[in-house]
Amino acid sequence: MPLLEVTNLVKHFSRRRGLLAPPSVVRAVDDVSFTVDEGEMFGLVGESGSGKTTTGRCILRLIEPTSGQIRFKGEDVLSFSRSRLRLARRDMQIVFQDPFSSLNPRMRVGSIVEEPLIIHRTGNTAERKARVAELFELVGLDPTQLKRYPHQFSGGQRQRIGLARALSLNPSFIVADEPVSALDVSVQAQVVNLMMDLQARLRLTYLFIAHDLRLVRHICRRVAVMYLGKIVEMGETEAIFAAPAHPYTRALLSAIPVPDPAASKQRVVLDPSSFQREAPLRQIGTGHVAAV
Amino acid sequence: MSEVRSSRDPLSGVRDPLGSGLAEPVSLGSRIPDPGSRLLSVEHLTTGFDLKGRFVAAVIDVSFHVAAGETLCLVGESGSGKSLTALSIMGLVQPPGRIEGGRVVFKGRELRELPEREMQKIRGAEISLIFQEPMTALNPVFTIGSQIEETLLVHGRATRRTARQKAIDLLDAVSVPEPHQRVRDYPHQLSGGLRQRALIAMSLACDPSLVIADEPTTALDVTIQAEILDLLRSLQKKMGLALLLITHDLGVVAEMADRVAVMYAGRIVEEAPVTEIFSAPAHPYTQGLLASIPGGAPGTKLQAIQGTVPPLGELPPGCSFTPRCPRRFEPCPKAHPGTTLIGTPTSDPGVRQAQAGPSPSRGGPGIPDPGRVHAVKCYLYSDAVDPDIRDARTS
């Protein structure tokens, strides 16, 4: 049984255009379905505005979806009461993209990591302090720096703090929303290695939201490609990279800058008339579907 | 069906897109790049900040040149001093920052000695700057048309009557669709990619010979990035532009650069033609950067460079990379290494191994071709180190 099952997820944002004009509707997530297996790092890729972040937040109910179904460990997340949802959130956490704005600049980093434990009334003061120190070690930070403020850390270290906070309640599932895209290249590799290491050690499952396809190819076994609120292609990462079926996926893959000056620069330009937006996903190969 | 083409050519079908309406019409491609000529040369530039009574250098003894029509990529992580180098060239360093020393020579003129009035004539007209974030570089309360027109009027490249048409032609030249409508749009009405195109149009308004682009595609999606890079490349070819491209993305470097200068902690640690940087990186930092690009067997650990970039003003003694360097040895923490030329600048890069060992041509005889120089600041290649110790390290 998959750990997470998302079925026909829809999120519409309505936007007022004026006092009398009818509100316009943005279909940010438009009938998205996928499953994530336990212990998997599942990639969700797409450009800004494709709905990948909204999808991630709907799963945690940080945004209430318009319709659809989300089953986590077999339970219907959308039917959870407030108190049941709070309990569920121990098990599903999020790491944000921007390590600068996602940490409160006025709080010491030790308190930032401890805060989820206080909110969920876990342990006494001494137990919490010990847990925070343990988490710091787990993510490769020096526990003697607990009293410092976020600005005293580099971007990579801050993202480790964000990871420590997400891990504080022992979750089994983490939505990682572009966790390394704000980091320098040499530091990205450190944080990605840490995430893979933690995945193995703590049996974590990730929904890895990204736009860096080179990285996704390296770390995700399966991937879904989103375009304008819909999944246009999904399957084994290697199968998709070897033979992208959807015109958008082809354009996306060809746009990746190749770190080899001798590589041929064959660019595929997306022609929106080359595919039907409403086309259903159909089987292309083993474990490989595309909306063509 | 999606269309496959080798490179986009936004200027095709546009007749003299940048020349119309000019007092002195220019024909595109009239400036044929001379590979040997140095359009810009930066010599021993040191720039930093006066902080609490102490001068903290963020750009340290940086020297490089850009020849007419070529692309030099300045690569480095945040805090390595690449943007400050760009601002120093443009004479835009604001207090508490200041240029401590060095020369910036553009077309034979030392820019640092020019009075501000003269510098203003060069800035935006002969050298223009494209910023990373097109939203903050554009003024939100003026239409993009009026902002392009302002550049033209300030530099006397158009009259009030011709400016609007010239702005439309410029937008057309950078492949903005429906330029007649877009010219009346405010920046927030455009997408990120269109904003960056508008900014490029503005930077090209006065037909510069050098464009400095500071992370021009970092804020953009990968498909839009590809379009902007293609656009820059084709404009460069058409107009004979020299491009100083500042980036941290080695994929962008591989696609765009003729030559590459790698910066770390304020210094250029390696400079080489692009093919050599990728086929035979010499500095351990360059090697680490290349190795950390995802691309190995899926699921395997990425090769990270340990540690972080040292903060400004807290540089370790000696070579700044020493604490993170997997190949450090005795001389590294003592003093910063000088520049060593490796290989013969004209040799076939495929011949030499990735980790260049001792070669008889080190520090090569005669005057090397400046466009082919492979220079590195690292004791692994330095003649100042006892050859026995050094060679034991390089092998």
Distance from CA of B231 to the nearest CA of A (A): 13
Q: Do A256 and B222 touch (CB under 8 A)?
A: yes
On whether any CB of chain B is under 8 Å from the CB of A269, the answer is yes
Give me the percent of chain A exceeding a pLDDT of 90: 66
Strand partners, B69: none
CB within 8 Å of A264: residues ≥ 6 apart = none
Above 0.95 for ipTM, yes or no?
A: no
CB-based burial of residue B146 (10 Å sphere; 0-12 exposed, 13-18 middle, 19+ buried)? middle
Quote the CA–CA distance of B41 and B259 in Å, as a whole number: 14
Looking at per-residue pLDDT, the higher value among B298 and B267 belongs to B267
CA-based nearest distance B275→chain A, Å = 6
Nearest CA among B309, B240, B283 for reference residue B82: B309
Among A12-16, A35-39, B36-40, the range scoring the smallest mean pLDDT is B36-40
Under 8 Å between Cβ of B98 and B44: no
Q: How are the residues of chain A apportioned to helix, strand and coil, as percentages rounded to the nearest 5?
A: 35, 25, 40
Position B349 scores a pLDDT of 41
The predicted structure's pLDDT at residue A270: 83
pLDDT the model gives residue B31: 40
Task: Express each pLDDT in B231-289 by its tens digit.
Answer: 899 889 988 899 999 998 899 999 999 999 999 999 999 999 999 999 999 999 999 99
**Would you state the pLDDT for residue B164?**
94
| B191 close to A (CB below 8 A) | no
The residues, any chain, with a CB within 8 Å of residue B260's CB and separated by 6 or more, are B72, B73, B75, B253, B270, B271, B272, B273, B274, B277
B7–A265: do the CB atoms touch at under 8 Å?
yes
- pTM score, whole prediction: 0.83
Identify the burial level of B382 via C-beta atoms within 10 angstroms of its C-beta, where 0-12 means exposed, 13-18 middle and 19 or more buried.
middle
**pLDDT for A82 beyond 50:** yes
B-chain CB neighbours of A269 within 8 Å are: 2-5, 8
Are B1 and A270 an interchain contact pair (Cβ–Cβ within 8 Å)? no
Give the strand order in the sheet containing A173-177.
Answer: A92-95, A173-177, A205-210, A41-45, A222-227, A230-236, A288-290, A282-285
In the DSSP assignment, the letter for residue B324 is G
Residue type, B329: F
**Closest residue in chain A to residue B79, using alpha carbons only:** A184
Residues 6 or more apart from B311 whose CB is under 8 A from it?
B79
pLDDT tens column, A102-112: 999 999 999 99
pLDDT of B389 strictly over 80: no
Minimal Cβ distance to A269: which of B3, B77, B304: B3
Distance from CA of A11 to the nearest CA of B (A): 22
Each residue of A119-156: pLDDT tens digit?
998 889 999 999 999 999 999 888 888 999 998 888 88
Flag whether pLDDT at A60 surpasses 90.
yes
Nearest to B292 among A186, A255, A261 (CB): A186
Mean pLDDT of A60-75: 94
Which residues of A fall within a CB distance of 8 Å from B221? 47-48, 211
Residues of chain B contacting A98 with CB distance shorter than 8 Å: none
Q: Band the pLDDT of A73: cuts 50, 70, 90.
A: very high
Pairs of residues, one from chain A and one from chain B, whose beta carbons lie less than 8 Å apart: 146
Q: What is the pLDDT of residues A165-199, one digit of tens each?
A: 999 999 999 999 999 888 877 788 889 999 999 99
Distance from chain centroid for Cα A38:
15
Q: List the single range of A83-97, B2-16, B302-316 with lowest mean pLDDT.
A: B2-16
Residues of B in contact with A256 (CB under 8 A): 222, 251
Distance CA A96, CA A101 (A): 9
The more confident residue out of B181 and B311 is: B181
- Chain B CB contacts of A199 below 8 Å: none
Band of residue B8 on the pLDDT scale cut at 50, 70, 90? very low
| Rounded distance between C-alpha atoms, residue A167 and residue A138, angstroms | 10
Reported as a pLDDT band with limits 50, 70 and 90, residue A162 is very high
Helix H segments across A123-169? Answer: 125-138, 155-167
Give me the DSSP letters along B219-288.
Answer: TS-HHHHHHHHHHHHHHHHHHT-EEEEEES-HHHHHHH-SEEEEEETTEEEEEEEHHHHHHS--SHHHHH
B391, B357 Cβ separation under 8 angstroms = yes
Q: Using CB atoms and an 8 Å cut-off, which of residues 88-147 of chain B contact chain A?
A: none
- The verdict on A84 touching B (C-beta cutoff 8 Å) is no
Q: 3-state DSSP call for residue B43?
A: strand
Q: Which of A186, A212, A292 to mutate to test the interface with B (most CBs of B within 10 A)?
A: A186
Q: Does A1 touch chain B (CB under 8 A)?
A: no
| Banded model confidence at residue B193, pLDDT cuts 50, 70, 90 | confident
Q: How far is Cα B117 from Cα B128, in angstroms, rounded to an integer?
A: 16
- Rounded CA gap, B351 and B348, in Å? 6
Q: Is the peptide bond before B187 cis (omega within 30 degrees of 0)?
A: no
* Residue type for position A78: L
Minimum distance, in Å, between the CA of residue B388 and any CA atom of chain A: 31
Mean pLDDT for A45-70 is 92
Q: How confident is the model at residue B344 (pLDDT cuts 50, 70, 90)?
A: low
Per-residue confidence band for B132, with pLDDT thresholds at 50, 70 and 90: confident
Beta B267-273 vs B259-264: how paired, if at all?
Answer: antiparallel
- Contact assignment for A189 to B305 by CB distance below 8 Å: yes
Q: Are B8 and B230 in contact (CB under 8 A)?
A: yes
A-chain residues within 8 Å CB-CB of B226?
A: 254-255, 257, 267
Report the amino acid identity of residue B366. Answer: G
Question: Looking at beta carbons, which residues of chain A come within 8 Å of B290?
Answer: 259
Would you call B255 and A257 a contact, using CB atoms and an 8 Å cutoff?
Answer: yes
Strands (E), B68-167: 71-75, 97-106, 109-110, 127-130
pLDDT at position B325, please?
93
Q: Give the pLDDT confidence score for residue A95 in this predicted structure.
A: 93
Q: How confident is the model at residue B384 (pLDDT cuts 50, 70, 90)?
A: confident
Q: Which residue among A188, A256, A271 places its CB closest to the CB of B2? A: A271
pLDDT of residue B12: 42
Positive/negative CA dihedral, B107, B109, B111, B117: negative
**Distance between CA atoms of residues A119 and B190, nearest Å:** 42
Q: Answer yes or no: do B304 and A187 touch at CB < 8 A.
A: yes
Q: Are A150 and A161 in contact (CB under 8 A)?
A: yes
**Cα B40 from Cα B283, distance rounded (Å):** 25
- pLDDT of B20 strictly over 60: no
The predicted pLDDT at position B368 comes to 61
Nearest by CB to B299, from A157, A187, A219: name it: A219
Note whether A259 contacts B6, CB cutoff 8 Å: no
Please check whether residue B305 touches A, CB under 8 A.
yes
Residue in chain B nearest A212 by alpha carbon: B222
CB-side neighbour CA atoms (13 Å) of B24: 4
